[in-house]
Structure 1
Amino acid sequence: MGRVVIDARAAARPELGGVERWARELTARLPALNPERYVVAQPPPALAHRAGHAWEQFVLPAQAAAARAEAILCPANLAPLASRRTVVVLHDVAPLREPAWYSSLYVRWQRAVLPRIARHAARIVTPSAFSRNEVVELLGVPESRVDVVPGGVDPRFTPHADAAAARAALGLTSKPYVLTVASRTARKNLGVLDLAARRLAERGVDLVAAGGDRPQFRAEDDSAGVRALGHVDDALLPGLYAGAAAFVLPSLYEGFGLTALEALAAGVPVVAADRGALPEVCGDAALLVDPLDAEAVAGALERVLDDPEPWRAAGPPRAAPLTWAATAAAVDATMSRVLA
């Protein structure tokens, strides 16, 4: 049986976005699924970010060679440029589509490496058909070389999660709240929520945002009406979702939209942008709106708050088939084809 080394650099990061969640889940689940096949290579935490590029390009291939691995699985957009036996998960190619959302240094790096990574990869995995189409268009990859494998949601995200503990820990006990979970970056488009925040305040409802900054992204100006919670511990996230009166994600671009899926699993009414992969992920279980129309976003939130039960009922069945176990099994199947 061929051996595969998993690049766990993103799994070592302290923050937890969609890319990091994928890396952590695959790093844990694939060796459990097939322990004879998978070996995890993880750098020290100090090399999890920019300082770890050299580790990924040079140390990781050396470790793979020492382990006599036949392939390297890279779950977080980047991969060793010299390797021809990589399977890489490209979550999106947003820096190529909208470079203004990122720092100039990050855009130059992505423009330099993404085409080479895509060209050299034995196989590419994307989390949505939307991202597959972006990869095909912007990187010139034949569609036949791309497998679509959706992300998953942990069973902890449920309507029955401990909302009271999350509310107490985060100081959310005085009012109902509408939640967004997103980093404070331009592509998340949180500024469009100002009008909604004012409207919700008139109803005695707070609008709160969980998530921090990312150094490679251009930060968005603070949204005056949105209460920033900053980084929220992963243990509190299920209860934070479950306790929300509604969830909103007005992103201009999502390769998947994991936080919207988590909100659906938690039985929370979801308002999401009608672009990127969000319509594909949410289907008719969420109310989809133009993220550039502040009036439409505010009105949609008022609509789901006025009649929440149909939206609460629609979410869990939509999310139920999308599990991390299914994601790991599909990625393992891709690796089997590559090794064959």
Structure 2
Amino acid sequence: MSIGPIAFDASLWDEPTTGIGLYTRCLASALEEQGASLERFGARLSGEHPRGHMGRTGYTLARLPRDLRGSEARLFHALGNFNLPLTRVPGKAYVLTVHDLIPLTMRETVSTAFRWQFRLWLTRSLMIADRVVCVSAHTRDELLARFPEVADRTVVVHNGVDHVDAERLDATGETFVRTLALPKDFVLYAGSLDVRKNVGLVLDAMERLRARGRSVPLVLSGQSWFGSGAVETRVGRMRAEGFDIRPLGYQSAPVFYELMRRAALFVFPSRGEGFGLPPLEAMRLGTATIVSNVGSLPEVCGDAAPAVGPDDAEGLATAIDRLLRAPEERRQWAEKGRRQAEAFTWKRAADQTLAAYEAALRER
């Protein structure tokens, strides 16, 4: 079936990288490698239809429908959980990617205003979407528990992770990483510092390890987010008490992944993930990884990463302590992680997304 040009949601294309922004760029590249022709809508400056100084919401509601009417593309793919136009543009099929339902399932992790926007706009988007792509079976199950009417229009397409292979430090990056003077056998958490990521459990584990007489260096790489103030305050207090905790803030992709390569362990005890890309990235890069046993993480990480409960600080401390003392066991987990991550490629994601496009167009 000839799909023709695809109207592609590029609203996060020019923004600081988030999970959805990374998904946008990696999926676009993989689709183009499969021969798809993309017409990018709504990037701030780039693409065929930039929004300029308009906000993302304003563009989608006010200008995107007009831009779509003038396009030869027969299908528009919205990538940001809920951001389809509110009305149907004649002759256009709609596909929507839903990454997670965190604003509905973990209400305390987002602002009230965003939660209302998410719920109302998602409900409308699901009414008019011809196909809904969920990035995990976990997300699909949570979506269908609330919106069972979209079951026959919903498919699961896992993210890829092989994008990390191309991210290598240049000379400037090498110099920067050297200046960090990273300690031997450090534990790394990489990701945003928001409430649901459960960084507090990692800090609890550090306190338990210190009480046992075990001082473990911890590196935190990630941007502040909604609700991160409590974690940042606690980190400052613990550093004043002598804990070796190094908060690096947001880092470029090459540095971010180099930290993963150099870490003895990667920890990611999140309370809720729609997919959970950072632990899979660490696994792809050959770093033993510890995760929580909730959300999508069991689905994505399988049996290739030790898992603890999201409230089990003692279990996390014990796992960290054991693996730091057992290099051979770490190597075994690292190898299992590499094998698990091999199944998650952007080519596979693009192939399955193209199949979703074809199904959406058949039904128009």
TM-score by length of structure 2 reads: 0.84
Q: How does 1:1-340 map to 2 (within 5 A)?
A: 1=2, 2-14=4-16, 16-35=17-36, 37-44=37-44, 51-77=55-81, 78-83=83-88, 85-157=93-165, 165=174, 168=177, 171-198=180-207, 203-214=214-225, 217-222=226-231, 223-224=234-235, 225=238, 226-307=245-326, 308-340=330-362
| Deviates further, 114-123 or 169-178 | 169-178
Identity %: 30
Distance verdict in 2 for CA 1:249–1:294, change over 3 Å: same
Q: CA RMSD in A?
A: 2.6
> In structure 2, what is the Cα distance between the partners aligned to 1:221 and 1:13?
26
User: How far apart, in 2, do the equivalents of 1:196 and 1:82 lie?
Assistant: 49
Contact kept? 1:43, 1:55, Cα under 8 Å: no
2:355 counterpart letter in structure 1: A
Report which of the two structures shows the higher radius of gyration computed on alpha carbons. 2
Aligned twin of 2:241: none
Q: How far apart, in 2, do the equivalents of 1:60 and 1:27 lie?
A: 19
8 Å contact kept, 1:8–1:27? no
Tell me how many residue pairs correspond in the alignment.
335
Distance 1:273 1:219 in 2: 19
Return the alpha-carbon distance in structure 2 between the equivalents of residues 17 and 170 of structure 1.
Answer: 26
> How far apart are the structure 2 equivalents of 1:220 and 1:141?
39
Q: Residue 186 of structure 2 contacts residue 263 of structure 2 at CA under 8 Å; is this kept in 1?
A: yes
Q: Give a deviation string over 1:168-227, Cα, whole Å, max 9, x none.
A: 25614344311111211111111111132235665453111111123xx33351242443
- 1:56 to 1:31, Cα distance in 2 relative to 1, 3 A: farther
Unaligned runs of 5+ in 1: none
Distance 1:294 1:220, change over 3 A: farther
Q: Which residues of structure 2 form unaligned runs of 5+?
A: 239-244
The alignment partner of 2:162 has SS state of coil
| Structure 1 segments (4+ residues) deviating >6 Å | 46-50, 160-164
The code of the aligned residue for 2:18 comes to G
3-state SS in 2 of match to 1:13: coil
* Structure 2: distance between partners of 1:156 and 1:101: 28
